[in-house]
Structure 1
Amino acid sequence: MTLSCKIFSTTLQGEAQDWFHTLPLHSIQNFSKLSLVFTKEYLSYRSIKKKSDHLFNMKKDPKESLPIYVKRFKAEKAKIVKCDDSIACSAFQKGLPANHPLFGKLIMGQNLTLADSYALAEKHSLWDEAKYS
């Protein structure tokens, strides 16, 4: 095993380091072979970077309550590094069915921020709870 391989092994931590120590003796002759084996092992672990427009795939399920949709949307948004709030706001609105009462309020509201949209959703949810209690 080359010096590069031994140095590489010192950079590994946790499961990757455990994996390295399970390699059969003399199975790796050079760094190219180690790179290939490591990439094959960990390629599926690579996280896929999502962009703000990923949020347009979010849709409120008809059986889902508004608070659950908001919670799920916020969780997805949190996974996006440097998420553009204006895109997120549009995606949040588009995720609601056109016949949902909140949809009209959000569309008619001019220059609503994402925080404004969340606040309206919360007010709408509280109003619904009071109405049906």
Structure 2
Amino acid sequence: MAALPIASPALQPASTDGQQIDWASKIAEVMRDQFGLKPKLQNLMYRNSYPAVYDQLPLPHKYKFPDFTKFSGQGVVSTVEQINRFIIQCGEEAQNDALKVRLFSMSLSGSAFTWFTTLPSNSIIFWADLEKQFHQLFYSSIEKMKLPDLTNLRQRNDESVTTFIQRFRVVKNRCFSLVMSDQQLAEVAFQGLLQHIKEKYACQEFYSISQMAHRMTGEVKPYEQKRSNFQKKVNFVDYSDASDSDDDQMVESAEWVQNNKKPIACPFGNKEPEKYWFDITKADKIFDLLLSEGQIKLKPYHKISTDQVLKNIKYCKWHNATSHDTN
């Protein structure tokens, strides 16, 4: 019987030198040369954008990672504000550039974090490089405020004094080139208050917006409503000064006369349509006028000294005190 031929195993195509041909590379080369197509290389493995040695840096003893404020690139926070806040939250470790580069991703979220993870491997060596790239991609200029932005602020009808002052401070903090004293800022903020509150505190002087907020705490209801609910038998005129304290309270030595509906025309003031005002330097004369017309009466022990005795001396006829004038 004749032997049947046995087929030999299929042999892999080989190159002339006996090595296996990389067909994937060959196909990619043909696509690139013939069709101008370049295969897309996909690499889903995460690679640090900074040197791996940064992750090996020892942390300080008992170091606790800060709870960084997150930046997503979608809010109103500027890159300048975010960088400054990040450095402050790093504390003493902000002196270590390598550690700042390592920790920076912990202050990012959303698209900002995605951007950081897609940076080329080992592309960030120095903190300055990372900060520069961060600003280039996410920078948004902060709206710079000026003095008119402050002077045009007005308290809303449903807004408390405390809330208005907080809003005033936010605008002030964006007036980077504005130079004003605390007292000047208090004057600007005072002009933005509701009219009935300004009238109530018109005779007082404020040296800072913090002092103004402290004195006006609780000013929420309209002044007219407060007046309608006011049922005290004796009305007192409040006087406040920066040197006031709990241990040094002024006692009124005069009081308003009740049930006296006789109107008194003030010759020391000027009348404007729906608005009245007077020169505060005429407070002494106004007091004398109201006293002579029976609108004010003195306490039994209160005797007002003559002008000759009080020459060049501060004297308040209402409080019977020499620490301030009648105002």
- Taking structure 1 as the reference length, the TM-score comes to 0.52
Q: 2:197 — aligned with what?
A: 102
Unaligned runs of 5+ in 2: 1-48, 55-97, 174-179, 230-327
Bigger Rg, structure 1 or 2: 2
Q: 1:10 — aligned with what?
A: 102
Q: In the alignment, which of 203, 206, 214 is matched to residue 112 of structure 1? A: 206
The CA distance in 2 between the partners of 1:130 and 1:106, in whole Å, is: 14
For residues 2-55 of structure 1, what are the alpha-carbon distances to aligned partners after superposition, in whole Å with 9 as ceiling and x for unaligned?
Answer: 86xx736324132078342222x36948868755432122322x7678799964
**CA apart distance, 1:95:** 0.9
Q: In the alignment, which of 183, 187, 211 is matched to residue 86 of structure 1? A: 183
Secondary structure of the 1:59 match is coil
Contact 2:50–2:125 at 8 Å: present in 1 too? yes
Q: 2:155 — aligned with what?
A: 60
Q: 1:39 — aligned with what?
A: 135
Unaligned runs of 5+ in 1: none
The CA distance in 1 between the partners of 2:124 and 2:220, in whole Å, is: 64
Q: 1:21 — aligned with what?
A: 117
Contact 1:55–1:76 at 8 Å: present in 2 too? yes
The CA distance in 1 between the partners of 2:124 and 2:169, in whole Å, is: 44
Higher helix share: 1
The CA distance in 1 between the partners of 2:116 and 2:197, in whole Å, is: 53
Q: In the alignment, which of 160, 165, 176 is matched to residue 73 of structure 1? A: 165
Percent identity between the two aligned chains:
14
Higher strand share: 2
Equivalent AA in structure 1 for residue 199 of structure 2: G
The CA distance in 2 between the partners of 1:59 and 1:20, in whole Å, is: 43
Secondary structure of the 1:117 match is helix
Equivalent AA in structure 1 for residue 197 of structure 2: L
Equivalent AA in structure 1 for residue 107 of structure 2: G
Equivalent AA in structure 2 for residue 91 of structure 1: V
Contact 1:2–1:29 at 8 Å: present in 2 too? yes
Root-mean-square deviation (CA, aligned residues, Å) is 4.7
Distance 1:72 1:92, change over 3 A: same
Q: Which moved more, 1:13-22 or 1:46-55?
A: 46-55
Contact 1:89–1:117 at 8 Å: present in 2 too? yes
For residues 36-87 of structure 1, what are the alpha-carbon distances to aligned partners after superposition, in whole Å with 9 as ceiling and x for unaligned?
Answer: 432122322x7678799964342124xx2351x531322542784xx95323
Equivalent AA in structure 2 for residue 102 of structure 1: I
How many pairs align?
Answer: 122
